[in-house]
């Protein structure tokens, strides 16, 4: 298929610019010349090496899938306007959404607030319920296929959805459609996808949204598939009250997985009060799953205090939050770990920054913190390092990590210069005759600031309980 901008497709839809592409095709921003509106034009790419007969079968199936998706009238499902054939391949014309994808927002923020993720999950689940009621399983739900626009949460890419009652596969035998990190174990094993398959993908998507990374990662495709099928998800550090429902959705046996109704109740509770609710697991008489697949019901009871309301979806990216983690004793279930409170996190950051200051001042050859101690300025050194460590222990704003690091660099540079001026005034000396133990010559200053700022930033980023949730 050609990729000419301005080409008219179906005698009506003009391609304007390429806005995305993946394994299943390309998406263009287009223009509906008849109605005078912007549309998204998705060109479906067929696998290489297929026969003409296979191509015809795929063309008919994708067309049928697109028409099925067009019947899904729901604000949480992208609207399909038309499906046409162009140069022997199907083209799906959809609603043009200007919002950001959930994947992009996760990459920017490193993880979203718990209540915001609960709100997103609730809206995704409502859309999935609508599709499942029509016999449609998405099969490839993931953060890239979730768009956020104003107060809408929109699932896209239903073009590869599989009709639950169909008897013919969309692709030839052996081909995996979807992203393994978000695909259910039974789907990777080649079993027929069902509504429970999408619920697993929902759990993996929400896990990624709150934790900033998928529940399973590996260096190779094969290792990733094995991890999804055989291993438990990585422990959730930031999920808080979402921990129980995430663990219930990520149960490997679909018969033991949380139902849509159970997940809906848990997400609504987490959004409304910040508290977790028990997620009972349905029992199956004729088939007992492996113990590794079945979390015990008691493990899903987590009590968390109510927290301030999260921002509405129209205010993405999320503003800074206060205390991000629930405090107090919390029973820990599979995939969920109790986080230290903000006070403990601040203490660890303070101790780490203080140690970094003294190590930098004493160990690096261009600094002279040891000389200031010998000359009787130990008390000034202690006050200076304590003050700087305290400032670095304060909670960081919920900015992009790069912006936070740059802000710390500027802060540390200003602190070193201001401290030297203040010490000079206290001692009644000229600033050029005063040393604070850290060289302010241009090159040493750059190294000092980079070491201190990066160390403080890493402590904030890595110490559990430090980042906004």
- Edge to edge, what strands does the sheet with 80-86 contain? 8-9, 13-22, 25-32, 37-44, 89-95, 80-86
| Length of the chain (residues) | 469
195 and 292 both lie in a single domain: yes
268 and 357 both lie in a single domain: no
Question: Looking at 32, 38, 82, 140, which residue is catalytic?
Answer: 140
In order of 390, 449, 451, the CA distances from 438 in angstroms are 18, 10, 12
User: Which domain does 238 fall in, by range?
Assistant: 100-315
336 falls within a domain: no
454 falls within a domain: yes
Binding positions for ATP: 42
First to last CA, the chain: 45
Q: DSSP for 315-346?
A: GPSPPP-S--S--S-----TTB-PPPPHHHHH
406 falls within a domain: yes
Q: What is the pLDDT along the chain (469 residues), one digit of tens a residue?
A: 445 567 888 889 999 998 887 666 788 899 999 999 999 998 887 767 778 787 788 778 777 777 877 888 899 999 889 888 888 778 889 999 888 999 999 999 889 999 999 999 999 999 999 999 988 888 889 999 999 998 899 998 875 544 333 333 434 444 455 578 999 999 988 888 899 999 999 999 999 999 999 999 988 888 999 999 999 999 999 998 999 999 999 999 999 999 999 999 999 999 887 665 566 555 443 333 333 333 333 333 333 333 344 445 544 444 334 333 333 333 333 333 444 456 777 788 888 888 888 888 888 888 877 777 777 777 777 887 888 888 877 766 656 667 777 888 888 888 878 877 887 777 777 766 666 777 778 888 888 888 888 888 788 766 765 554 4
Separation between Cα atoms, residue 309 and residue 323, nearest integer Å: 12
253 and 162 both lie in a single domain: yes
Residue 38 annotated among the catalytic residues of the structure: no
H or E element in which residue 15 lies: strand 13-22
302 and 430 both lie in a single domain: no
332 falls within a domain: no
Strand partners of residue 148:
100, 153
Q: Which residue has the tokens 């303070």?
A: 350
For residue 467, with 0-12 CB atoms within 10 Å meaning exposed, 13-18 middle and 19 or more buried, which class applies?
Answer: buried
399 and 449 both lie in a single domain: yes
Number of domains, the chain: 3
Give the domain-ending residue among 77, 95, 113: 95
Give the domain-ending residue among 76, 95, 114: 95
Binding positions: 42
pLDDT tens, position by position, 130-153: 999 988 888 889 999 999 998 899
DSSP letter for 242, please.
G
CATH number of the domain where residue 24 is located: 3.30.200.20
206 and 167 both lie in a single domain: yes
297 and 356 both lie in a single domain: no
Give the domain-ending residue among 65, 80, 95: 95
Q: What is the pLDDT of residue 356?
A: 86
Residues 6+ apart with CB under 8 A from 436: 372, 380, 381, 384, 416, 419, 420, 423
Residues 6+ apart with CB under 8 A from 338: 329, 330, 332
Q: What is the pLDDT of residue 469?
A: 42
Q: What is the pLDDT of residue 307?
A: 37
The answer to whether the CB of 158 falls within 8 A of the CB of 72 is yes
246 and 115 both lie in a single domain: yes
Q: DSSP for 384-415?
A: HHHHHHHHHHSPPPSS-HHHHHHHHHHHHHHH
Residues 6+ apart with CB under 8 A from 127: 74, 75, 76, 77, 153, 154, 155
165 falls within a domain: yes
88 and 107 both lie in a single domain: no
Q: What is the pLDDT of residue 344?
A: 75
CATH number of the domain where residue 284 is located: 1.10.510.10
291 and 395 both lie in a single domain: no
pLDDT tens, position by position, 362-385: 888 888 777 777 777 777 778 878
2 falls within a domain: no
Is the dihedral angle over the CA atoms 280, 234, 393, 399 positive or is it negative?
negative
Q: What is the pLDDT of residue 330?
A: 33
Residues 6+ apart with CB under 8 A from 366: 439, 441, 444, 447
80 and 116 both lie in a single domain: no
209 and 86 both lie in a single domain: no
pTM over 0.85: no
The answer to whether the CB of 334 falls within 8 A of the CB of 243 is no
| 3-class SS of residue 105 | helix
């Amino acid at each position: 298929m050609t990729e000419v901008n301005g080409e008219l497709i179906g005698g009506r839809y003009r391609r304007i610019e390429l806005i995305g592409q993946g394994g299943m095709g390309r998406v263009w921003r287009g223009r509906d010349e008849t109605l005078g509106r912007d549309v998204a034009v998705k060109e479906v790419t067929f696998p290489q090496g297929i026969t003409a007969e296979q191509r015809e079968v795929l063309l008919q199936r994708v067309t049928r899938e697109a028409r099925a998706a067009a019947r899904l009238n729901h604000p949480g499902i992208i609207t399909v306007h038309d499906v046409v054939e162009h140069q022997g391949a199907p083209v799906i014309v959809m609603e043009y959404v200007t919002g950001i994808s959930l994947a992009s927002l996760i990459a920017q923020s490193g993880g979203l607030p718990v209540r915001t993720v609960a709100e997103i999950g609730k809206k995704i689940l409502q859309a999935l319920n609508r599709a499942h009621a029509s016999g449609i399983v998405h099969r490839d739900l993931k953060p890239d296929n979730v768009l956020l626009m104003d107060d809408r949460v929109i699932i896209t890419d239903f073009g590869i959805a599989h009709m639950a009652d169909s008897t013919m596969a969309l692709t030839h035998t052996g081909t995996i459609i979807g992203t393994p990190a978000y695909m259910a174990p039974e789907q990777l094993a080649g079993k027929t996808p069902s509504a429970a398959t999408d619920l697993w993908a929902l759990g993996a998507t929400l896990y990624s949204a709150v934790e900033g990374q998928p529940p399973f990662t590996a260096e190779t495709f094969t290792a990733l598939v094995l991890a999804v099928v055989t291993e438990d998800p990585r422990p959730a550090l930031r999920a808080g009250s979402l921990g129980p429902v995430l663990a219930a959705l990520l149960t490997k046996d679909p018969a033991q997985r949380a139902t849509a109704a159970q997940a809906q109740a848990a997400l609504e509770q987490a959004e409304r009060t910040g508290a977790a609710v028990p997620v009972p697991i349905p029992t199956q008489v004729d088939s007992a799953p492996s113990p590794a697949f079945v979390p015990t019901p008691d493990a899903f009871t987590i009590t968390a205090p109510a927290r301030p309301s999260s921002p509405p979806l129209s205010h993405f990216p999320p503003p800074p939050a206060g205390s991000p983690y629930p405090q107090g004793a919390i029973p820990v279930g599979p995939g969920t770990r109790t986080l230290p409170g903000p006070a403990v996190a601040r203490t660890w950051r303070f101790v780490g920054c203080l140690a970094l200051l003294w190590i930098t001042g004493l160990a690096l050859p261009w600094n002279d913190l040891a000389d200031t101690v010998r000359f009787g300025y130990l008390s000034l050194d202690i006050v200076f390092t304590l003050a700087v460590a305290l400032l670095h222990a304060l909670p960081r704003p919920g900015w992009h990590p790069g912006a936070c690091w740059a802000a710390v660099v500027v802060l540390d540079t200003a602190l070193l210069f201001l401290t030297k001026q203040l010490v000079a005034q206290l001692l009644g000396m000229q600033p050029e005759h005063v040393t604070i133990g850290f060289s302010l010559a241009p090159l040493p200053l750059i190294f000092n600031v980079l070491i201190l700022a990066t160390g403080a930033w890493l402590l904030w980023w890595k110490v559990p309980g430090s980042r906004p949730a």
